[in-house]
Structure 1
């Protein structure tokens, strides 16, 4: 089989101009995260310095990403290539609206989490490398959102895996080691599948640059490219914890401290499903069309099975893990409905999940602090003892279920619009029953998630005491939050929930950004032009 040739001649592939200073904003978030992680590792014995340095580094990253997102909104996708080689030979970092927006959201929740953990950790506790690993994880997440090269994406996945593996075992408790084995094995397997797909892609196309893949993939063997797409779907599906390769998430995310669980739930699976969306919708759209029935089936199964798992679960954070899986099903539903509304809804949902899932796990950490328990059957009475936490959980439960006017409602509205449009019901012609099934699954997911969340809220907050004969008697085992826990833990969580509420009440700008981001995915001509590969169209 002939190998497709790159779209740029080697003799013209050298960079001879200096990169403008303004373009460095694309890579500055990565530089700050990596340098900050290294500095924190060197300063880990200095008491009290680590959290300050970490927060300053993340604040700098946020400032850079705000400027980057503003630039992308103004001029479209922007790209910067490392070294002296032009694309597709050099490693490119490229930001479009979705990539820049998700990177910014990831940095914001990381900063809030760093404030939150000050209520759990001693002021001078930094010798375990926690803050270095958090910044390293943020570097991996940011690099994954901003890379324009598939092999570079694999590198950032490895950075994320190393950092997350370190975070999950901090403390060395048996339950953490058990969770680390389950988490690590499945993710190492997913990484192996991803690496295999990269080798096949390079062998078939002669390039791993994302823009170049868009240009040359249509001329490659369709059956071979469909096989590559299937491998990518498997690898990213495992990373995202989509059904049926999702069992590792609820088995591992409840084992580390709540702040680490929140970071994982808000960021890691979202990177996996974002990579799936970019690979299948942007890079290999013809293969996505072939895989559409499979994608729809995965989305429907994830949407339905996840909330049922949450209803059956009694451990609070394990139940929230099923909420995370249900959200992944919603994003995959958008990938299976590749219209402006479908892809826009999927991107919008990723943003919602980054914020809402992180906040849910932070609230769960506060609940565990109050009760000293992880099993919801042994909790109760928190509404009377600490009403603000009960209100925060209730709001987030509604947002996760997609109840209007909270943030989760708007992306589901876009997805429902996409499903109804593709089903053919409005035109009165032939009905696409698979699209109609996605619509039904989205509605059923909302109802089932609301039932699961209401059950947790009733058991944890409304019921006076633990399950059993004394459940109507007020629990005397609640431990009030210390001043430090209330100031940092509850304060940081309240700020994040406020962001979720305000974003839900004022979604107009998010709608606009979602449509623009979806437009660049469906028609990647501006994305290709950012690389300097505008000589052809896919």
Structure 2
């Protein structure tokens, strides 16, 4: 079964090559892309069942045994994120197919869109299964190249400007990550994650902390944590609706995933947990304050995206199995719900001609289906019972109470306030765009209109366009998936709990890569620091 692991990367990469060959046949490109992501979904579901019952799958590429060969590893966390990512990528793909059928090449030139989308998918999947730092770096670089192409599709001035900001920040992050890899290799003599975990305890404490901070900064930029998230609100909203949706749902979570591996596998000692908690708190507060101040729906959602990254980082920073389990559940919830909200925003833009709430009104009457498709994930992200957002936040608060520190209790208060502010920001959109009558929408003078046109808020009016049925079906499907997270919250959280227990100690991961019994040293080191018996 180990042979299944590389297929989640090979299938989309080979399919991307096939889609390029048939660049003049968009329907065939669509079939290839849908088939590739559907195959990855099936593969990830099969691997999820295998790793849950039998333990992690590990493969050394080319027959070179670890730590000399390239290790590919799928454990419970990897398998879960692979499956959720495949679902989201497939849902957004169907949305983009519907948009392409209606608009042709205006928004998403299909000759390059589908191959690039598959390359982006391969980068996401590769990052989730990477068993060494350099392969993880390769995954990030695949993401970077593909995302730059997608974010600048259409070649408008706004998109090129946003793409330049995005690429510069991403390159700085990549350079820092590459420097970290070089230093870690110099300190430990390996880039294999499992072997680094064994050898890192022998590195002097001051050097270990420097390496730890360098990796966290590099991954923090990609995850968009405070104060490294300044690039996101101006970059994501300018892209086409399906691109924005997949970026918001997935790309930052790859950074969060890398932080989880850093904190649980490479540096399992609680050296920087307090600093991470402080960063998480600031991410929560600054992000939601930015969201409340926005009048553009996509910029508001971008700021809520930043804010809710704080919940995930906080779960990791607690350093407990309960905190990790809650963080994993919340990651799954947020991937689905945030993607769904951006797809709904895309429908609003097509129907209303704008995403500025100052120019929208009466959508509840004129587009009741869109109203429902926005309302359900809105309640979910705001944490209203019994949705998965409420369950995830409650689990994080419970884990914080168990941890018992003063900072953990501060987080509980701040987290509850941020949840209310999230609901306020989203309810404001609902009230003005949907509930308010269209006759009540004010006409702004030419000065204000000019300012809005020049601001990076995507608030400039556009013509209303027909919404293809496939776009509505894709968004409805994603709303259904978000509701399924609530209906299946019991077994999903049980799986997340097993995944959290699994990765809290690095032993299982190390044994799957390097062989049974090799994790004793790492487990003993962690247990001695935590004050528990080995």
What TM-score, normalized to structure 1? Answer: 0.90
Give distance in 2, aligned partners of 1:440 and 1:468: 37
SS in 2 for 1:437: helix
Report the counterpart of residue 35 of structure 2 in structure 1. Answer: 56
Report the counterpart of residue 173 of structure 1 in structure 2. Answer: 156
**Per-residue deviation, 1:478:** 11
Q: Which of 413, 423, 432 pairs up with 1:459? A: 432
Report the counterpart of residue 494 of structure 2 in structure 1. Answer: 512
More helix by share: 2
**Per-residue deviation, 1:467:** 6.5
Which moves more between the two structures, 43-52 or 261-270? 43-52
Give distance in 2, aligned partners of 1:478 and 1:213: 53
Give distance in 1, aligned partners of 2:182 and 2:110: 40
Residues matched between the structures, number: 500
> In the superposition, relative to structure 1, how do residues 47 and 99 fare at CA in structure 2: closer, same or farther (>3 Å)?
closer
Which structure 1 residue ranges, 5 or more long, are not aligned? 1-21, 424-431, 472-476
SS in 1 for 2:59: strand
1:359/1:497 contact within 8 Å kept = yes
Deviation digits for residues 267-321 of structure 1, max 9, x if unmatched? 10000011011112222012xx221221011110111121111110111111100
Which moves more between the two structures, 403-412 or 328-337? 403-412
Give distance in 2, aligned partners of 1:228 and 1:412: 31
**Per-residue deviation, 1:480:** 7.2
> In the superposition, relative to structure 1, how do residues 297 and 452 fare at CA in structure 2: closer, same or farther (>3 Å)?
same
2:67/2:514 contact within 8 Å kept = no
Moved over 4 A (4+): 123-127, 466-471, 477-481
Give distance in 1, aligned partners of 2:24 and 2:409: 58
Report the counterpart of residue 400 of structure 2 in structure 1. Answer: 419
Question: Is 1:272–2:255 an aligned residue pair?
Answer: yes
**Per-residue deviation, 1:239:** 0.3
SS in 1 for 2:27: coil
**Per-residue deviation, 1:23:** 1.7
2:66/2:513 contact within 8 Å kept = yes
Give distance in 1, aligned partners of 2:124 and 2:408: 32
2:506/2:519 contact within 8 Å kept = no
Question: Is 1:24–2:7 an aligned residue pair?
Answer: no
Aligned residue runs from structure 1 range 389-400, under 5 A: 389-400=370-381
Question: Is 1:142–2:125 an aligned residue pair?
Answer: yes
Give distance in 2, aligned partners of 1:363 and 1:397: 10
Give distance in 1, aligned partners of 2:26 and 2:171: 35
SS in 2 for 1:94: strand
Question: Is 1:342–2:315 an aligned residue pair?
Answer: no
What TM-score, normalized to structure 2? Answer: 0.91
Give distance in 1, aligned partners of 2:236 and 2:72: 30
Which structure 2 residue ranges, 5 or more long, are not aligned? 445-460, 523-534
Report the counterpart of residue 277 of structure 2 in structure 1. Answer: 296
> In the superposition, relative to structure 1, how do residues 72 and 375 fare at CA in structure 2: closer, same or farther (>3 Å)?
same
Give distance in 1, aligned partners of 2:26 and 2:247: 26
**Per-residue deviation, 1:371:** 0.8
Give distance in 1, aligned partners of 2:39 and 2:519: 38
SS in 1 for 2:58: strand
